[in-house]
Amino acid sequence: MDSIIEASQNSTERANQSGYSRKIAQEIVDICFNAGISLAATLPDDWIAHTIACFEQDSRFAHIPVNREESAIGICSGAFLSGTGSVALMGASGLMTLVYAITKINYTYEIPVFLMATYRGSLDDGAKFHVSNGLYLENVLNSINLTHTIINNVMELSKIEEAYHHSRKISRPTVVLLPKRLLQGKG
Amino acid sequence: MTYYECIKWLASRWTDELVVTSAGTSSEFWYDITGDTERVFYLEASMSLSSMFAAGIAYGLKDKRVWAFSGDGAFVMNAGMLAVEQHMALPNLKHFMISNRVYGSTSNVPLPGRESNDYAAIARAFGVSRVFSFKDLNDLKSNFGEAVSNPGYSFIHLEVQPVNDRPGSPPMDGPELKFRFGRNIENISNKKVFSS
């Protein structure tokens, strides 16, 4: 069996073939590091395969691949109480599963966590099974007053650090949504 | 063994570990027995995430020992947590999974698979090497050193009887728990939890 690094490198090659930008992924990871993040708990989505690989292959971070998105919330919430900066990185569908964990853990105890998720269901998303995210993702986030922002282009990448610190400031989760065009280096 | 005598004995062996309890009985008994409000995070709103929460703490505080309590109701919901714990391999984390074959915090409603679930076997199947299973208090006492005191991530399955009389939740709101626990972390470590 491949080592986790070899498997991660294979994933990188696949993401290259799919048209996603390693350069953008590295910029996102660098911004996370500069913000004070040292732990990344992740679940995959094609769009962020490069970003996950960058976390995995970067010794500045502990990368924890998790079994489900709620586990990422658990780990990142605990990490906060250990004084460790963290990010939960996932696809939009995974974010849609988090209403319980966020409202029960993060809202009840006022524990900040920072999330990044793909902005699925957009006009340029070819996947029919992500239409539901286009219809409901932002409505769901709004329904639980979950603060979120969309990174529309490279010039707005600095909003990642702002959103991370904003989470600490308001003692609540914040979410950064990553569109396809941005992750392909076209935004 | 009974749930209460299990928790009471473990609390008697508690020294400087940070403790995360889960929804319902483990939180209620631990608070009833210890009364602690600084070294314990009573994660009553946990539903299968207490050990993940504890893993986040243990990762960030590698020189502190962390005990996580969960129940088999949580385990059935999120057995995959063990894949993550096995991957993290935190030597300072012990996961006590207390099994009574019912959803104990919701009127002892029976669990799916209650007669056949073999939790220790499931843990081993996820690749966890240090797996312990006790249904007798004396057996737990005899093997506590190897299971808990020795370094290395352990999954410890404790089989107890369902509970009928529970003492009630710790009398603290969420933010108070956060600040008590977090301030204690700041005091016992060089980590800053809260920003100015």
Give A84's contacts in chain B (Cβ within 8 Å): 56, 59-60, 191
SS3 A39: strand
Q: Does A129 touch chain B (CB under 8 A)?
A: no
Domains and CATH numbers, chain A: 4-183 (3.40.50.970)
Give A75's contacts in chain B (Cβ within 8 Å): 52-53, 55-56, 59, 84
The pLDDT-based confidence of B152 (bands split at 50, 70, 90) is: very high
* pLDDT at residue A181, as a whole number: 96
Q: Are strands B109-110 and B102-103 parallel, antiparallel or unpaired?
A: antiparallel
**Dist CA A162 CA B158 (whole Å):** 45
Tens digits of per-residue pLDDT, A9-59? 888 888 888 899 999 999 999 999 999 999 999 999 999 999 999 999 999
Mean pLDDT, range B101-120, rounded to an integer: 92
**Dist CA A47 CA B171 (whole Å):** 45
Tens digits of per-residue pLDDT, B36-72? 999 999 999 888 999 999 999 999 999 999 999 999 9
User: The tokens 């299968």 sit on which residue?
Assistant: B48
- Name the percent of chain B lying above pLDDT 90: 89
Q: Which of B147, B145, B151 is nearest to B132 (CA)?
A: B147
The pLDDT-based confidence of A102 (bands split at 50, 70, 90) is: very high
* pLDDT at residue B173, as a whole number: 96
Question: Higher confidence at residue A106 or residue B103?
Answer: A106
**Dist CA B14 CA B94 (whole Å):** 12
For residue B68, what is the enclosing H or E element?
A: strand B66-71
| Token code pair at residue B172 | 């603290």
* pLDDT at residue B106, as a whole number: 86
Q: How far is CA B27 from CA A186, B30, B41, B140, B167, in A?
A: 51, 5, 9, 20, 10
Q: Which of B19, B22, B5 is nearest to B94 (CA)?
A: B19
The pLDDT-based confidence of B28 (bands split at 50, 70, 90) is: very high
Give B80's contacts in chain A (Cβ within 8 Å): 67-68, 71
pLDDT at residue B107 greater than cutoff 90: no
Find, in chain B, the residue whose alpha carbon is nearest to that of A71.
Answer: B52
Q: Are strands A147-150 and A174-178 parallel, antiparallel or unpaired?
A: parallel
Q: Does B127 touch chain A (CB under 8 A)?
A: no
* pLDDT at residue B70, as a whole number: 96
- Name the percent of chain A lying above pLDDT 90: 88
Q: Does B192 touch chain A (CB under 8 A)?
A: yes
| Token code pair at residue B120 | 């220790």
Residue B37, burial from CB neighbour count under 10 angstroms (0-12, 13-18, 19+): middle
Q: Is the pTM of this model over 0.95?
A: yes
Domains and CATH numbers, chain B: 3-188 (3.40.50.970)
Say whether B185 and A62 touch across the interface (CB within 8 A): no
Q: Does A42 touch chain B (CB under 8 A)?
A: no
Find, in chain B, the residue whose alpha carbon is nearest to that of A79.
Answer: B56
Q: Does A86 touch chain B (CB under 8 A)?
A: yes
Which runs of consecutive H residues, i.e. helices, occur in chain A? 4-17, 22-35, 49-56, 69-81, 92-96, 99-101, 108-109, 131-143, 159-170, 180-183
* pLDDT at residue B138, as a whole number: 98
- Burial string for A83-120 (b: 16+ CB within 10 Å, else e) reads bbbbbbbbbbbbbbebeebbebbbbbbbbbbbbbbbbb
Q: Residue B81 is nearest to which of A67, A77, A83, comparing CB atoms?
A: A67
* pLDDT at residue A37, as a whole number: 98
* pLDDT at residue B104, as a whole number: 86
* pLDDT at residue B144, as a whole number: 97
Which residues does B181 contact at the CB level (< 8 Å), separation at least 6? A81, B38, B39, B40, B41
> Contact, A175 vs A95, CB < 8 A?
yes
In angstroms, the separation between the Cα of residue A85 and the nearest Cα of chain B is 9
